[in-house]
Amino acid sequence: MVQAAVYDRHYDAKAKAAGVMQFFTPARGIVRDTITTLISINRIVTSIDRVYVTLTWVGSATNSLSQLGLFTLVGGLLGHVVSSIKVDWVTVIAGIALYLGYRLAETVISAAIGLRAKSFELALWNLMEERILGKLASLDLGRLLDPSFMELQRLARYRGAGAAARLWQSERSLIGAVVALGAGSVVLLSLDPIIGILALFTAAPMIGRDWFIEAKRRLFDEAETLTYRKKYEVENALVAPRTGLRSRLWQLNNKYQSYFRELVAEVRNNALVIARFDRRWNLTIGLVEVAMLAVMCSYFASGLVEGSYTYLQLGAIGGSLSLLVTGMHRFGSSLTELENARRDYDYLARMLETKPLVDETHAQDIELSDTPVLKIENLTFSYPSTDIPVLENCSVEIASGEKVALVGRNGAGKTTLLRLIAKIYVPAGGSIWIDGHEIRSVRQQSWLNHLLMATQELELPGMELARSLTGSVSDNIDTDRMKRALVYSGADEIVAVLPQGMRTWIGEQWPSGRGFSTGQLQRLALAGAFYRFLDPKMFVGIFDEPMANCDVETRARFYQAIGKAAEFSRKTILMSLHDPLYLHHFDRVLFIDGGRVAQDLRGQEAIASYRNHIAMALAGDL
């Protein structure tokens, strides 16, 4: 409500200050933006099928003109019949033949073009999806994790993808409207300049109104988008599986519902402001139009009475007048459609223009030794969306093959440090050296060839289990490696009881799919991480609180494997965890606090005493 009220005032103030100039400035902006968008759309559609696109443009224009042709034809035939007062076969046949010829051509062309139109439509849709996926795949992880970009890409995917097709449709319809208006005016002007000028004076304010309304509507756009976004969030809170469950369990439904009603009222309010605006202008312009029509009709009537038009001329005048009227209406509606589609397309365009957060233009592929040393020097970092430093002068050196635990309070910066090591973000100050290469000069993809990162957010896509874990179907995976991965992650017992084993589909939504508990899913996801980590090229493994949802038994097995299994003895492991019980499985414990490594504990003795210290503190709390 508050939002709408602000916009209301904003609008009123603007309306009061509005002069002729205010009308032109936003309208000019619309024209410019529309042209830019249309150029970009035309580039896309002509790249798919240039011939088809040209044909549809011609078709759209011809369709408009056919109305004029029909009127003139009828007028001409009528004139001929009336002047000779006899219906002869030649005239009738000529008229019918002309009309049938036109219909035949129309039928044949639309049949011939139908299939091509479908393939064009599919190709366009496909192209837009490919672009979106390609763009998202090319962006770095840091950008994908950027909250404002997440929102933009959501809008681009849900609203922008279909907008290209709609833009193209409205462009076609706009071409038809412009041709109708143009042809109507030219014919009228040449037949009877006075009636032509009168018609133009009638048409111009109506077209002006459409531009004007669109320009004004933009003022409400932002408010509207924001309200819809809020509405979507509340809808989710009410009906999406997880948030919906919470709302029911905590009896928040009623409160959320009344918030929802508030937002609906906000949408309504906004729409009404626009409608009031429309009403005022529709009325004003409508009155002008009626007055102009009255003048035009009287002039036309006087011509009729005086008999100064031939039947052919009458037909043509009627045709072009009707062309002008339909043209005006089509122009207005296609303009609105065009503007709506353009707004949606804008999300897509902005998404496609987004630059990666990490500039990799000067980065290169690296070949690592199988015993890489990680050196972290005076790291300083804050997230792009904030200025609050998360890391400050953080330094540490990690030898190859070391098993390092990261501990510290929530929000201390453990995840951030691990992300920086994986080059998901680039530090603002300081350096990370991977085997002597400064991380900024290393292409992230080549670093990921040797680095495994398993994050807190491990989530399995609902596919066949083997494909979900490894990307390949079960016939193509390394069975032995998978067996070991399942053992280390404690997922072997989950898979053992599945009748279809690695061929099982994840998720009960599939015909013979299986549901799993959160802890089970985490273990399965971890099996996928281990499968990759067991690849001999993988020298460094990063695990960010991987066991948060698992039972004690699974945890014990997991940490034991990490600490003792020969397969991991040469691999470097960095892991953040909260459970002090398992710290003795590590060679080293880093306590992160105040944006840096506050304590660096090496050797079993130091780690054991730290562990006891924490255990005592916890016991004191109980």
Q: Which residue ranges make up the site for Mg ion (CB under 5 A)?
A: 414-415
Look up residue 499 and give its DSSP letter. T
Q: Which CB, 164 or 424, lies closer to ligand ADP?
A: 424
The minimum distance between CB 547 and Mg ion, in angstroms, equals 13
Residue 608, phi-psi category: left (phi > 0), alpha (psi -120 to 50), beta (remainder): alpha
| Binds 349: which of ligand ADP, Mg ion, none (CB < 5-8 Å by kind) | none
| Binds 546: which of ligand ADP, Mg ion, none (CB < 5-8 Å by kind) | none
| Binds 416: which of ligand ADP, Mg ion, none (CB < 5-8 Å by kind) | ligand ADP
Decide if 596 contacts 395 (C-beta within 8 A).
yes
The minimum distance between CB 37 and ligand ADP, in angstroms, equals 32
Look up residue 435 and give its DSSP letter. T
Nearest 5°: phi and psi at 539? Answer: -105, -25
| Binds 385: which of Mg ion, ligand ADP, none (CB < 5-8 Å by kind) | ligand ADP
Q: Which of 137, 178, 180, 129 lies closest to 158 in space, CA to CA?
A: 129
Q: Which CB, 502 or 574, lies closer to ligand ADP?
A: 574
| Binds 52: which of ligand ADP, Mg ion, none (CB < 5-8 Å by kind) | none
Query: Which residues in 439-582 belong to E strands, given as ranges?
Result: 451-454, 540-544, 572-576
The minimum distance between CB 599 and Mg ion, in angstroms, equals 18
Q: Which amino acid is at 380?
A: T
Q: Which CB, 417 or 466, lies closer to Mg ion?
A: 417
Q: Which CB, 330 or 414, lies closer to Mg ion?
A: 414
Instruction: Identify the H or E element spanning 396.
Output: strand 391-398
The minimum distance between CB 376 and Mg ion, in angstroms, equals 17
Decide if 542 contacts 514 (C-beta within 8 A).
no
The minimum distance between CB 582 and ligand ADP, in angstroms, equals 17
The minimum distance between CB 384 and Mg ion, in angstroms, equals 18
Binding mask 389-428 for ligand ADP (x = CB under 6 A): -x-----------------x-xxxxxxx------------
Give CA–CA dist 203/208, Å, rounded. Answer: 9
Binding mask 349-388 for ligand ADP (x = CB under 6 A): ----------------------------------x-xx--
The minimum distance between CB 594 and ligand ADP, in angstroms, equals 12
Instruction: Identify the H or E element spanning 65.
Output: helix 20-84
- Token digits of residue 468: 């979900």
164-187 in b/e form (b: 16+ CB < 10 A) is: bbbbbbbbbbbbbbbbbbbbbbeb
Q: Does 173 bind ligand ADP (CB under 6 A)?
A: no
Give CA–CA dist 510/505, Å, rounded. Answer: 7
The minimum distance between CB 176 and Mg ion, in angstroms, equals 58
Residue 143, phi-psi category: left (phi > 0), alpha (psi -120 to 50), beta (remainder): alpha
| Binds 413: which of ligand ADP, Mg ion, none (CB < 5-8 Å by kind) | ligand ADP
Give CA–CA dist 400/587, Å, rounded. Answer: 12
C-alpha dist (Å) from residue 577 to 395, 404, 407, 525, 589: 20, 10, 6, 17, 10
Residue sitting closest to Mg ion (CB): 415
Q: How many residues bind ligand ADP (CB under 6 A)?
A: 13
**DSSP characters over 227-262:** HHHHHHHHHHHHHSHHHHHHHHHTT-HHHHHHHHHH
| Binds 56: which of Mg ion, ligand ADP, none (CB < 5-8 Å by kind) | none
Looking only at the bridges linking them, the beta strands covering 437-438 and 429-434 are antiparallel
Instruction: Identify the H or E element spanning 89.
Output: helix 89-138
The minimum distance between CB 384 and ligand ADP, in angstroms, equals 7
Q: Which CB, 217 or 414, lies closer to Mg ion?
A: 414
Q: Which CB, 414 or 532, lies closer to Mg ion?
A: 414
Q: Which CB, 412 or 524, lies closer to ligand ADP?
A: 412
| Binds 390: which of ligand ADP, Mg ion, none (CB < 5-8 Å by kind) | ligand ADP
Binding mask 591-610 for ligand ADP (x = CB under 6 A): --------------------
| Binds 411: which of ligand ADP, Mg ion, none (CB < 5-8 Å by kind) | ligand ADP
Q: Which residues bind ligand ADP (CB under 6 A)?
A: 145, 383, 385-386, 390, 408, 410-416
